[in-house]
Amino acid sequence: MSATVDGIHVVSTETIPGFIIKDQLGVVSGSTVRAKNVWRDFTQMMKNIVGGELPQYTELLVESRNEAFMRMVADAKARGANGVVNLRFATSAVSPGAAELFCYGTAVVTE
């Protein structure tokens, strides 16, 4: 993955092509915890009976991923970074019906 958001180059690799890493500023992260909606659960349970994609859950995951990503970018920007390398995503169950989506990487200064 490679993206540039708010002047921050974000990559899932160890280096940013075309740039030299001058300093590492440490791990930056962003996370969000989301709970499932009872109505959404019911409609998706009905969809699960016949099979196929669960589009409302997919939408929830995309929204959560974007929120965690933007919070990580804001963390990097606040530290004075202009790049993030080794981008990763992780999920974990927080409680029944709620999950955390966590985004992290290493903030760097490049030239």
CATH classification of 2-36+65-110 is 3.30.110.70, yes or no?
A: yes
What 8-state DSSP symbol labels residue 10? E
| pLDDT one-digit tens code per residue, 58-71 | 888 899 999 999 99
What residue segments make up the domains of the chain, in order of their start? 2-36+65-110
Percentage of the chain surpassing pLDDT 90?
66
| pLDDT one-digit tens code per residue, 34-60 | 887 655 555 556 556 666 777 777 888
Cα dihedral across residues 22, 23, 24, 28: positive or negative: negative
Strand ranges across the sheet with 98-110: 2-5, 8-11, 83-95, 98-110, 21-35
Rounded to two decimals, what is the model's pTM? 0.85
